[in-house]
């Protein structure tokens, strides 16, 4: 895979096998967004809704990743930059809505949270296994891996939140987990943005060298 022989060369996604896996992961994420958002509304769980939004964001950004595979480094880095900024916005939104919910706490349905969290975890474990071999690619490819990894972590967190809600009889574990997930989104967005900006600078320098 990427960099196995030359650590300066990163996998760019130009692979029929990678594209097939990415299509499958897109379908998984789109289906789980619909399931988890409906369950989050029914359970009144902010953590479930946050995780559902992550599924939607992943499905959309994976589609963008597919669209720019094979294009210039500048285009791919710009797409990754857009995805990083989108992930940052999602993290800020989840954090804001979580703080708002602190003022209007209702106790979520722990049983629904746990059941859907387990289903989402299974879906994301499949996605992670499909993409694991491609985790060290360029910013465009790496952003896909980071989003999938975040999903799996988020699902474990939702299940822990469900256990906390069930044990405490309050909504605080749900809100705490939603806040932690927001922080994870922001952290991953910073990684993606940093790498995409580096690649954009590298592309610009390459263009200057060729022009000279």
Q: What is the pLDDT of residue 27?
A: 94
Q: How many residues does the chain have?
A: 212
Q: What is the pLDDT of residue 6?
A: 37
- Joined together, the tokens standing for residue 204 give 């610009």
Q: Which of 137, 120, 143, 134 is nearest to 21 (CA)?
A: 134
Q: What is the pLDDT of residue 8?
A: 46
* Residue showing tokens 């595979």: 69
Q: What is the pLDDT of residue 24?
A: 92
DSSP-assigned states of every residue in 158-211: HHHHHHHHHHHSSSHHHHHHHHHHHHHHHHHHHHHHHHHHHHHHHHHHHHHHHH
Q: What is the pLDDT of residue 3?
A: 33
Distance CA 96, CA 168 (A): 24
* Residue showing tokens 């954009």: 200
Q: Using alpha carbons only, give the angle 199, 149, 29 rounded to the nearest 5 degrees.
A: 100
Q: Which of 31, 10, 191 is nearest to 126 (CA)?
A: 31
pTM of the predicted structure, to 2 decimals: 0.65
Q: What is the DSSP letter of 132?
A: G
Distance CA 135, CA 195 (A): 14
Q: Using alpha carbons only, give the angle 29, 55, 187 rounded to the nearest 5 degrees.
A: 130
* Residue showing tokens 């804001």: 96
Within 13 Å of residue 89, how many CA atoms lie on the same side as its CB? 7
Express each pLDDT in 134-184 by its tens digit.
777 777 777 777 777 777 777 787 778 778 878 877 777 777 877 887 887
Alpha-helix residue ranges (DSSP H) falling in the chain: 16-43, 46-68, 73-102, 110-131, 139-168, 172-211
Q: Which residues of the chain have pLDDT under 50?
A: 1-8
Sign of CA dihedral 12, 18, 20, 23: negative
Q: What is the pLDDT of residue 7?
A: 39
N- to C-terminal Cα distance for the chain?
33
């Amino acid at each position: 895979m990427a960099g196995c022989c030359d650590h300066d060369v990163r996998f760019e996604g130009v692979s029929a096998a990678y594209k097939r896996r990415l299509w499958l992961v897109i379908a998984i994420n789109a289906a789980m967004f619909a399931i988890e958002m409906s369950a989050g509304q029914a359970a009144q769980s902010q953590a479930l809704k946050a995780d559902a939004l992550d599924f939607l964001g992943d499905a959309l950004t994976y589609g963008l990743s597919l669209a720019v595979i094979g294009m210039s480094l500048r285009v791919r880095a710009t797409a990754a930059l857009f995805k990083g900024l989108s992930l940052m916005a999602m993290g800020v939104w989840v954090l804001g809505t979580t703080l708002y919910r602190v003022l209007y706490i209702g106790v979520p349905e722990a049983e629904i949270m746990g059941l859907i969290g387990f289903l989402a975890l299974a879906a994301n474990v499949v996605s992670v296994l499909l993409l694991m071999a491609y985790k060290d690619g360029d910013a465009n490819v790496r952003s896909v891996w980071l989003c999938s990894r975040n999903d799996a972590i988020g699902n474990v967190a939702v299940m822990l939140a469900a256990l906390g809600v069930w044990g405490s009889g309050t909504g605080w574990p749900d809100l705490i987990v939603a806040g932690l997930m927001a922080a994870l989104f922001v952290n991953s967005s910073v990684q993606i943005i940093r790498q995409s900006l580096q690649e954009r600078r590298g592309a610009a320098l390459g263009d200057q060298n060729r022009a000279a």
